[in-house]
Amino acid sequence: MSTLKITTRDTSTGPVLEIVGDLDYAHAGELRDLLGTLTLQPGQRLVLDLAGMEFCDSSGITALIAAQHHAQAADADIALAAVPANTLRILRIVGLDQIFPLHPDAEAATRDIRPSR
State pLDDT tens for residues 28-55. 999 999 999 999 999 999 999 999 999 9
Kindly report the backbone phi and psi dihedral angles of residue 19, in degrees, each rounded to the nearest multiple of 5, phi listed first.
-105, 120
- Which pLDDT score is estimated for 47? 98
Beta carbons of 64 and 98 less than 8 angstroms apart? no
Average pLDDT over residues 12-29: 97
- pTM (two decimals): 0.92
Query: Where along the chain do its domains lie?
Result: 4-111
Question: How far is CA 3 from each of CA 17, 34, 53, 68, rounded to the nearest angstrom?
Answer: 16, 16, 10, 23
- Tell me how far apart the alpha carbons of residues 39 and 68 are, in angstroms, rounded to a whole number: 13
- Residue 89 is classified by DSSP as H
- CATH class of the domain defined by 4-111: alpha beta
Rg (CA), the chain: 13
Neighbour-count burial for 74-88, b at 16+ CB within 10 Å, e otherwise:
bebbbbbbbbeeebb
Q: How many CB atoms lie within 10 A of CB 102?
A: 20
